[in-house]
Structure 1
Amino acid sequence: MKVTPLDIRQKTFEKVLRGYDKDEVTAFLLSLSQEWERVQDETKEMRIKLEATEREVTKLREVESSLYKTLKTAEDTGANVIEQANKAAELHLKEVQLKAEALLNEAKTKAKDTIEQSEATSRQMVDEMEERLKTLVQNYKSIESERANLLGDLKRLAGETMDKVERLRNATSNFDPDQHLQLAKREAKQTLNPNAVNTIPPLPQHEKTENAEANNEEAAVPKHQKSFFDEIQ
């Protein structure tokens, strides 16, 4: 049975002999009703607070559920992002590896071509140097041959010159300028007047002999033998 403070205040009791003091009972009932009213007010207030708390708990549970869903979604999204990032990283790594291999192969090919080209150029340079060396050797041999010929010609020319000097020295030892002058005049007159009488005395016998020997020696030298200086004139 539900009892209110008003019920407590209005409660009446039957009168009996030697019963309780009416004033004390009334005062107690009044005090009890007031206390009961306070308890009801507190209960009502506590019920209101409980309802508010339950609403807050419901909201918190909803927030918790939303946060859980958000966290779950974030975890799933993070996992997907991580998976996609890993796949993208693997793909990028493969592309980088392929590019690196391509660059390495290209570098090897270029290095091989460069080495082959350098070797070919080196061989060509060596061949050219060998050919030039052969040409220089041939030119050197030709120069040596020309030098030997030149020395031979110089020796022969020196010998001939010494012989001529010796003959001239021998000829000038008995040379008479007056007689040679008379001989030149006589030859000039005979050339101008072949019928004129020869009045110039002839040369001495030893000069005729020396002149004849000199002419014979000059005639004895073969005309086809020419010196180096004759060839270059």
Structure 2
Amino acid sequence: MLTPIDVQAKIFKSGMGYSKADVDSFLTNLYADYGTLYRENMELKDKTNLLNESLNRYKDIEKSLQKALVLAETTSEETIASAKTNAAVIEQEARVKAEAIVADAKQELENIRSMTVELVQKYESYKSQYKALASAQMELLSSDAFNIELTKVDSLVVSEAPAAKPVYQEAAAQVAANAAKEAEDDMDETVSMEDDTMIKDIASIFEK
């Protein structure tokens, strides 16, 4: 492509033909216009190069963004899959632990029930034994071995004091009654203490 300098330096041969002045004037105008076009063309080329460079940079950025997007999608899918797997594992572990806790609770309840039944049976057995013992003691107290013969007491009273006989008889009867009452109270207290102990044992189981 001709440059403005080439146009300006162009020399035509003189002789027959166009007027030299007209040719020079035309070349002068052509030089000016062509110089303007040439500069504009160079500026456009520079701008085009800059735009191409920018476009290439944007293309590189676009490629990087596409790669990042693909990586993000892949990572997101992997994260979701991993989260689902972890959730399933946690759910399974929780289910197993819950079943174990329920089984332990049922076993503990069964143990408590068995212990309660055993204690109640022991309580009833002890109660029957103490009732039988108390009944035997009462029968023993009512037997002849614990009867005080008033005739023997009467023999202790001197004949010179017949008025004192009722006093000795009353004292002997009171002694026998007190002995029977004390034996009965001791037996009731023993049975009551054993009953309280058994009841406390049963209550302590339910308090757990």
| TM-score normalized by the length of structure 1 | 0.56
Q: Does 1:157 align with 2:161?
A: no
Q: Does 1:132 align with 2:136?
A: no
Instruction: Kindly state the Cα deviation for residue 29 of structure 1 after the two structures are TM-superposed.
Output: 4.3
Alignment partner, residue 90 of structure 1: 88
Alignment partner, residue 166 of structure 2: none
| Higher RCO (CA-CA < 8 Å; seq separation 6+) | 2
Alignment partner, residue 40 of structure 1: 38
Which has the greater radius of gyration?
Answer: 1
Instruction: Kindly state the Cα deviation for residue 66 of structure 1 after the two structures are TM-superposed.
Output: 2.4
Q: Does 1:14 align with 2:18?
A: yes
Alignment deviations for residues 110-132 of structure 1 (CA, whole Å, 9 cap, x no partner): 22112211221222122112212
Query: Secondary structure in 2 aligned to 1:39?
Result: helix
146 and 25 in structure 1: CA distance in 2 versus 1, 3 angstrom threshold: farther
Alignment deviations for residues 145-204 of structure 1 (CA, whole Å, 9 cap, x no partner): 368612xx1x22244345xx33x579xxxxxxxxxxxxxxxxxxxxxxxxxxxxxxxxxx
Query: Secondary structure in 1 aligned to 2:147?
Result: helix
Q: Return structure 1 stretches of 4+ with deviation > 4 angstroms.
A: none
Alignment partner, residue 106 of structure 2: 108
81 and 169 in structure 1: CA distance in 2 versus 1, 3 angstrom threshold: closer
| TM-score normalized by the length of structure 2 | 0.62
Aligned equivalents of 1:25, 1:45: Cα separation in 2? 28
What residue ranges of structure 2 are gaps of 5+ in the alignment? 163-175, 177-208
RMSD between aligned alpha carbons?
Answer: 3.2
Alignment partner, residue 74 of structure 1: 72
Aligned equivalents of 2:86, 2:2: Cα separation in 1? 76
Instruction: Kindly state the Cα deviation for residue 32 of structure 1 after the two structures are TM-superposed.
Output: 4.5
User: Match for 1:49: what amino acid?
Assistant: K
* Percent of aligned positions that are identical: 20
| Equivalent residue for 1:99, pick from 97, 102, 107 | 97
Query: Secondary structure in 2 aligned to 1:14?
Result: coil
Aligned equivalents of 1:113, 1:139: Cα separation in 2? 38
Aligned equivalents of 1:114, 1:169: Cα separation in 2? 72
Alignment partner, residue 55 of structure 1: 53
144 and 35 in structure 1: CA distance in 2 versus 1, 3 angstrom threshold: farther
What residue ranges of structure 1 are gaps of 5+ in the alignment? 17-21, 171-227, 229-233
Higher helix proportion = 2
User: Match for 2:58: what amino acid?
Assistant: L
